[in-house]
Amino acid sequence: MASGHTPRKLSPGRRGKPVSSPSQQVVRLGFGFAVSQALRVVIELGIPDLLASGGHSVEDLAAAAKVDAEPLYRVMRLLAPEGVFTEIRPRHFGLTEVGAALRSDRPGPRDFIRMINSEAYLAFEQLLHSVRTGKPAFDKVFGSPRFDWLSAHPEQAALFQRAMVALSQGGNEAVADAYDFGRYTRVVDVGGGHGQLLSAILARNPHLSGVLFDLPSGVAAARQGAGGDLPRTDFVAGDFFEGVSVGDIYVIKRVIHDWDDERAELILRRCREAMPTHGRVLVAETLVPPGDEPDQIKTLDVVMLAVTGGLERTEAQYARLFAGAGLKLERVIGTRAPISILEASPA
Ligand SMILES: C[S@@+](CC[C@H](N)C(=O)[O-])C[C@H]1O[C@@H](n2cnc3c(N)ncnc32)[C@H](O)[C@@H]1O
How close is the Cα of 294 to the center of ligand 1, in Å? 27
Count other C-beta atoms under 10 Å from residue 303's C-beta.
17
pLDDT higher than threshold 60 for residue 199: yes
Which of the listed residues 116, 138, 190, 255 should we mutate to test ligand 1's pocket, taking the one with most ligand atoms within 8 A of CB? Answer: 255
- Please tell me the distance from the alpha carbon of residue 173 to that of residue 343, in angstroms, as a whole number: 17
Least confident range of 15-29, 44-58, 140-154, 219-233: 15-29
Of the two residues 160 and 271, the one the predictor is more confident about is: 271
Q: What are phi and psi of 134, to 5 degrees?
A: 80, 5
- Please tell me the distance from the alpha carbon of residue 306 to that of residue 130, in angstroms, as a whole number: 6
How close is the Cα of 193 to the center of ligand 1, in Å? 5
How close is the Cα of 214 to the center of ligand 1, in Å? 6
Query: What domains are there in the chain, each with its CATH number?
Result: 14-100 (1.10.10.10), 168-289+309-346 (3.40.50.150)
pLDDT higher than threshold 90 for residue 105: no
How close is the Cα of 50 to the center of ligand 1, in Å? 34
User: Collapsing DSSP states into helix, strand and coil, what is residue 212?
Assistant: strand
pLDDT higher than threshold 60 for residue 13: no
pLDDT at 180: 98
Q: Which atom of ligand 1 is nearest to the CA of 258?
A: 1
Which residues line ligand 1 at a C-beta cut-off of 6 Å?
147, 164, 168, 191-193, 197, 214-215, 218, 239-241, 253-255, 258
CA neighbours closer than 13 Å in the CB half-sphere of residue 255 = 28
Residue ID of nearest Cα to ligand 1 atom 12: 191
Burial of 223 from C-beta contacts in 10 A (0-12 / 13-18 / 19+): middle
pLDDT higher than threshold 70 for residue 170: yes
pLDDT at 100: 95
pLDDT higher than threshold 60 for residue 4: no
pLDDT at 108: 65
Which of the listed residues 169, 189, 211, 215 should we mutate to test ligand 1's pocket, taking the one with most ligand atoms within 8 A of CB? Answer: 215
pLDDT at 5: 46
What percent of the chain is predicted at pLDDT more than 70?
A: 94
pLDDT higher than threshold 60 for residue 115: yes
In eight-state DSSP terms, residue 18 is: B
Which residue of the set 56, 207, 257, 278 is catalytic?
Answer: 257
User: Model confidence over 244-270: pLDDT tens digits?
Assistant: 999 999 999 999 999 999 999 999 999
pLDDT higher than threshold 80 for residue 2: no
**DSSP H/E element including 346:** strand 340-346
pLDDT at 217: 76
User: Collapsing DSSP states into helix, strand and coil, what is residue 87?
Assistant: strand
pLDDT at 14: 53
pLDDT at 15: 58
pLDDT higher than threshold 90 for residue 202: yes
Q: What is the mean pLDDT of residues 82-98?
A: 97
Buried b (16+ CB within 10 A) or exposed e, 231-252: eebebbebebeeebbebbbbbb
How close is the Cα of 40 to the center of ligand 1, in Å? 24
Identify whether the C-beta of residue 74 lies closer than 8 Å to the C-beta of residue 133: no
pLDDT at 1: 36
pLDDT higher than threshold 80 for residue 68: yes
* 257 counts as catalytic: yes
pLDDT at 10: 45
Residue ID of nearest Cα to ligand 1 atom 19: 239
pLDDT higher than threshold 60 for residue 11: no
- pLDDT-derived band at 78, boundaries 50, 70, 90: very high
- Please tell me the distance from the alpha carbon of residue 274 to that of residue 277, in angstroms, as a whole number: 10
pLDDT at 17: 67
pLDDT at 16: 57
pLDDT higher than threshold 60 for residue 159: yes
Strand order in the sheet with 85-89: 56-57, 92-95, 85-89
pLDDT at 197: 96
Q: Any bridge partners for residue 93, and if so which?
A: 56, 87
pLDDT at 163: 86
pLDDT at 287: 96
Q: Any bridge partners for residue 343, and if so which?
A: 282, 331
For the chain, give the mean pLDDT: 92
Closest CA relative to residue 237, chosen from 248, 257, 221: 221
| Helix ranges restricted to H, the chain | 22-30, 32-44, 47-50, 58-65, 69-79, 97-100, 110-115, 121-124, 127-133, 137-142, 146-151, 154-168, 171-178, 196-204, 216-223, 261-274, 296-307, 315-324
Residue ID of nearest Cα to ligand 1 atom 16: 147
pLDDT at 342: 98
